[in-house]
Amino acid sequence: MKRLAMNGDQAVALSWKQIDPDVVSSYPITPQTIIVETYADYVANGEVGTEYICSESEHSSMSMCIGASAAGARAATATASAGLAYMWEMLYIAASMRLPVVMTVANRALSGPINIHCDHSDAMGARDSGWMQIYAENVQEAYDNSIMSFRIAEDMGVRLPIMNCLDGFIVTHAIESLAPLEDEVVKKFVGDFKPIHPLLDVKSPHSFGPFDMPEYYYEHKYAQQMAMKNALDVVRKVSEEYAEISGRKYDLLECYRCEDADYVAIALGSTAGTMKQVVDDLRAEGHKVGSVKLRLFRPFPFQDVAKVLNGKKGVAVMDRAISFGAAGPLFADVRSAMFDNEARSPSFNYIYGLGGRDVGVEDLKKVFFDMENGNAETVNYLGVKL
């Protein structure tokens, strides 16, 4: 298929069109609305066979996806910010019932005050709900991650729901060059949905979501954790297979000029792309710096992170969210991963970009200069107006 000019939301909708899930249930919310609007057009034009349900709320939307998935259907949805928060109870139910629902999250700040712009507070708040989380740097990755998400979630060694996260407005609304795959290639790669004990199989009845007494609840949570652990290898396997059909190789994280770097910054989402330019600029000036793009946040790839950051003179962890009373959520995991490093690299948290605050090349250069000059504190607030 020829290259297309698309924004991130349209790219996700295109991937869904090529996959043609059985059920899509949604409720519009900025900045993900373009996804479901575009997909609704595909449905109305007869380009897909999906049963499209326009629900009355995000809670209902996730409830419908849970019902559809449990009944034996491939289900997908999309949301953002307060919409994700409104699903809260149902997020845990989807994960606990081991339903491979795929949900695109257009990352957006949570109120209050009300704000419709990008930060990661919505998905970070859901990091312990049992959903996998994968982050996109750009439109191409949003498309590719969407396709791979179905394979990852539906793998028999995983069977967990997944969030395909892309930065609100920065990726969702930015028009970029997209290299999509042919429809039949995507169809073959994703394959048919294979339900496990579907509710509609009346010849083999099973219970879903019953009351779980202490005798079994702990074991069910343990099973979820083991599925998360399995997902690390599954993501790698799916990424390798996707590289064979697309020519685009992905991994749990992506290192940029890290091998001989003294100072490294690690980030999620679109900021990782800006960071590459910062690294190139500073390298040209003689600074030994590098960057790491973390693609998979849940499950967290502790060993991979520890290996790539080992022995650095300084590591800056970029958080586009804040855990009040502590630091950033990514910082906690990165520091934990590095605890077993041979050199336990000094690490510094940078809270940035909350509520869509712009962060540019010069802002991110300051992060490296702080580390080089010994000015970085344990927790830093980049770009805040004091």
pLDDT of residue 386: 85
In total, how many domains does the chain have?
2
Based on the domain organization, do 155 and 178 belong to the same domain? Answer: yes
State which of 200, 219, 246 marks the end of a domain.
Answer: 246
Instruction: State the CATH number of the domain containing residue 286.
Output: 3.40.50.920
Nearest to 156 by CA among 193, 103, 206, 201: 193
pLDDT of residue 343: 65
Based on the domain organization, do 41 and 172 belong to the same domain? Answer: yes
Based on the domain organization, do 167 and 221 belong to the same domain? Answer: yes
Series of mean pLDDT values for 10-residue runs along the chain (386 residues): 95 98 97 98 98 97 98 98 98 98 98 95 98 98 98 98 98 98 98 95 90 96 98 98 98 98 98 98 98 98 95 97 96 92 87 97 98 98 94
Q: Is 386 within a domain?
A: no
Rg of the chain over all Cα atoms, to the nearest angstrom: 21
Paired with 348 in beta bridges are: 316
State which of 196, 220, 246 marks the end of a domain.
Answer: 246
Based on the domain organization, do 213 and 319 belong to the same domain? Answer: no
Q: What angle do CA 179, 185, 189 make, to 5 degrees?
A: 110
Based on the domain organization, do 139 and 273 belong to the same domain? Answer: no
Based on the domain organization, do 197 and 57 belong to the same domain? Answer: yes
Cβ atoms of 161 and 103 within 8 Å: the answer is yes
Residue with the two structure tokens 């080992």: 310
Instruction: State the CATH number of the domain containing residue 64.
Output: 3.40.50.970
Name the residue range of residue 215's domain: 4-246
Residue with the two structure tokens 């380009």: 47
State which of 218, 246, 274 marks the end of a domain.
Answer: 246
